[in-house]
Amino acid sequence: MKVLVTYFSQSGNTEKIAEAIREEASQANQADLKKLEDVAVADLAGYDFIFIGSPLHAANLAAPVKAFLKEIQGVPGQKMAGFITHFAPAYPDQDMDAFTEPIKTICKEKGIEYKGCFDCQGALIESLHAAVQKKLNASDEQWADMIQQMTGHPNKEDMESAKAFARKVLAG
């Protein structure tokens, strides 16, 4: 099977998860890892399985990912899974469903089999700290706790979880 792992990443969090997924996918498949900006929509026709990754920006997939999804043309038998990074430690399932809706919708519209989405915490880049703290109306103490919680993510455990997700969706 030919697998593409493509992603948009600004801080490196989503890229780390993409690398872990590609590493796992390459165990039994031909797997390519490409930044989203290096992928032409026409290239997708050559892949049986596509993983697409995005950070969450203001509780949504990143704008470049959403724009790319709108251009996808499905191929019969093609499968897709998503992966998302975010600075919060966890989201309720209903929120995660909302975050992945653009991927699910495109899959349904284009006849691509949706296989699920992996998510994990990542560290927020420092240049966004003040803006996010203000938006959340978090006190300095609350924000310090949030920073401590996100520091070091994605970690080794997150990477292993991403690999387990890749194994699961590729096998199913």
Q: What is the pLDDT of residues 13-34, one digit of tens each?
A: 999 999 999 999 999 999 999 9
* pLDDT tens figures, 56-102: 887 789 999 999 999 998 888 999 999 999 887 666 566 777 788 89
The predicted pLDDT at position 70 comes to 92
Structure tokens given for 172: 């199913």
The predicted pLDDT at position 103 comes to 94
Return the higher-pLDDT residue of 91 and 2. Answer: 2
Q: What residues make up the domain containing 86?
A: 2-171
The predicted pLDDT at position 38 comes to 97
Cα–Cα separations (whole angstroms), residue 62 to 8, 27, 67, 100: 8, 29, 9, 11
Return the higher-pLDDT residue of 57 and 37. Answer: 37
What is the rounded CA–CA span in Å between residue 72 and residue 137? 38
What is the rounded CA–CA span in Å between residue 65 and residue 147? 26
What whole-number percentage of the chain has pLDDT above 70?
96
Q: Determine which of 35-39, 41-45, 82-86, 142-146 has the lowest per-residue pLDDT on average.
A: 142-146
Give 128-136 contacts, CB < 8 A, sequence gap 24+.
132/87
Structural domains in the chain (count): 1
CATH number at residue 15: 3.40.50.360
Question: Does pTM surpass 0.85?
Answer: yes
